Structure 1
Amino acid sequence: LFGGQIVGQALVAAARAVSRDEQVHSLHCYFVRTGDPKVPVLYEVERTRTGKSFSVRSVKAIQHGKPIFTCQASFQLSQPSPVKHQFTMPAVPPPEELLTQEELIQKFLQNPNLAERYRKHLTKIQAEDVPIDIKPVNPPDIFSSEPQEPKQLFWVRARGYIGDTDMKVHCCVAAYISDYAFLGTALLPHRQYRIKFMVSLDHSMWFHAPFRADHWMLYECESPWAGGCRGLVQGRLWRRDGVLAVTCAQEGVIRVEQTPNQSKL
């Protein structure tokens, strides 16, 4: 099971247990067991607190009678405030000037010098049915095993039309999008190692401003730390007009072969 799918569906369940006027502002999740893609997921919602301005809903995703995932989502009624600030959006080329992930993969696969292990990996990605349009701003050089800065930039949007509907719907879709290729940012400085195992441990999101998940947004990802078989990644989803819409953070398990890979291709 894709972690972003569980996060998004859990948020759908939580959002159905609050009033239409309340909007999600934060979400904190833990992946506690491996999911089974062959079994339906039951989402159990607890109304933890319902206040005048804020409400909290706790969600368990259950398979085989045991929780595989837990989260708490906090919702808020709109409140004006004079206290406002945000970072500045990175200056990057617009999505119209960039290749899609599919076009980049096809370009790499046409190179006869591509190593077989990369060819298998890219073919696997190519076969995945991902409902996200992705345009990397700074795609990694797959022909080099040299360490790279743990930062990535993507233009992302949901495939298909969602429309100007309840903001909670767009937040649920953004939760799905936010988990895609996120943890991989922590591996960019360590590309000389083969991955044995990589899985998300937790996922947190903070929603700052209205947005359309079916419109292009810039996903800025970085990894400030890795160690102890874990990696930490942080992300920001920017609207095209420079407004910071969402902030994300995630920690995951990363296990690699102890001996660096010597092959350059």
Structure 2
Amino acid sequence: MSSPQAPEDGQGGGDSPGDLRSVLVTSVLNLEPLDEDLFRGRHYWIPTTKRLFGGQIVGQALVAAAKSVSEDIQVHSLHCYFVRAGDPKVPVLYQVERTRTGASFSVRSVKAVQHGRPIFICQASFQKTQPSPLQHQFSMPSVPPPEELLDYETLIDQYLRDPNLQEKYRVGLNRIAAQDVPIEIKLVNPSSLSQLQNMEPKQMFWGLCMGRMGGEGDIKMHCCVAAYISDYAFLSTALLPHHCQHKVHFMVSLDHSMWFHAPFRADHWMLYECESPWAGGSRGLVRGQLWRRDGVLAVSTWSRASDWRLSRPRRQESRT
């Protein structure tokens, strides 16, 4: 294990191209205030399952919670439960309860509501920045930098050009390519077609939000963007060893937790290290670590998926 380095704003470059403001800041995470501690969120990206993206709800809920605390305290943890599927046809209302406001720590409870019923609940804990003589962290994995890796669009195009690609993969890849997601992703070790048959429940990718967040920005807003990014391609880690035996129609999040360790910029490249230590009982557990380019561990995540809709596995032909 190594000690964490001092936080730096510039994480070794990695600026996204152009000066376009991130749509995550200007639209998705720009909540409309309706009353004190009551906000309305809009939708940007709807997955093919026609359910609201979990990362959107987590990110918007954290924005709502952050608006009820002073600027000198920062979020350090977030614990969420998804109660019902989100309806993409109507906006989401976020109700904030100021559970506790202390000298060093404050807690906010947030309820996301649609059609008069909660679809999501969470608690966010905030803390005033305090020096600590006790520090340690694991070491960041050694991986190629994002500049040496293919972007998602190019990688999918390569897969689609392979004449041996099975039709079930071709359909799924075309759906992914058609999605207008405000995140840029670069897989660290993309699998070849032959490797798809035998994959471990582990993956790593570089990610950042599209566009610039502008200036130094509010640290809490970068955490809100990271909350949005944290749920993208995360739960699918639990399915990597099984997708050849089962066709997954959709899966839903049960809960999602995050711990924020060090300042970072969500519009700079960060390495997301994901692994699923267990799956069973129609549930899957995934944990992740989000690293800054300078090797500092910025965020840790845990999440559970359930309610998988699977096709029956293929029957083995009997030997007669």
TM over 0.5: yes
Structure 1 stretches lacking a partner, 5+ long: none
Could you tell me how far apart the structure 2 residues matched to 1:56 and 1:191 are?
A: 40
Corresponding residue for 1:28? 79
User: What is the Cα deviation at residue 257 of structure 1?
Assistant: 2.5
Corresponding residue for 1:101? 152
Corresponding residue for 1:137? 188
Could you tell me how far apart the structure 2 residues matched to 1:261 and 1:53 are?
A: 59
What is the CA deviation profile of residues 139-170 of structure 1, one whole-angstrom value per residue up to 9, with x for unaligned ones?
A: 23345552311110000001000031010000
Could you tell me how far apart the structure 1 residues matched to 2:314 and 2:137 are?
A: 40
What is the CA deviation profile of residues 51-100 of structure 1, one whole-angstrom value per residue up to 9, with x for unaligned ones?
A: 11000000000000000000000000011111110010000000000001
Q: In the alignment, residue 286 of structure 2 is paired with which amino acid?
A: V
User: What is the Cα deviation at residue 116 of structure 1?
Assistant: 1.3
User: What is the Cα deviation at residue 198 of structure 1?
Assistant: 1.0
Could you tell me how far apart the structure 2 residues matched to 1:184 and 1:260 are?
A: 21
What is the CA deviation profile of residues 178-231 of structure 1, one whole-angstrom value per residue up to 9, with x for unaligned ones?
A: 000101101111122211431111110000000000000000000000000100
User: What is the Cα deviation at residue 258 of structure 1?
Assistant: 3.2
Could you tell me how far apart the structure 2 residues matched to 1:93 and 1:241 are?
A: 13
Q: 1:49/1:142 Cα in 2 relative to 1: closer, same or farther (>3 Å)? A: farther
Q: 1:112/1:165 Cα in 2 relative to 1: closer, same or farther (>3 Å)? A: same
* Residue-pair matches, total: 262
Corresponding residue for 2:247? 194
Check whether the contact 1:132–1:158 (CA below 8 A) recurs between aligned residues.
yes
Greater Rg, structure 1 or structure 2? 2
Structure 2 stretches lacking a partner, 5+ long: 1-51
Corresponding residue for 2:312? 258
Could you tell me how far apart the structure 2 residues matched to 1:151 and 1:18 are?
A: 37
Corresponding residue for 1:117? 168
Q: 1:228/1:216 Cα in 2 relative to 1: closer, same or farther (>3 Å)? A: same
Q: Percent identity?
A: 70
Counterpart pick for 2:102 among 15, 40, 51: 51
TM-score, with structure 2 as normaliser: 0.80
User: What is the Cα deviation at residue 256 of structure 1?
Assistant: 2.4
Q: In the alignment, residue 232 of structure 2 is paired with which amino acid?
A: Y
Supply the RMSD in Å over aligned alpha carbons.
1.3
Counterpart pick for 1:78 among 112, 129, 144: 129
Q: In the alignment, residue 256 of structure 2 is paired with which amino acid?
A: H
TM-score, with structure 1 as normaliser: 0.96
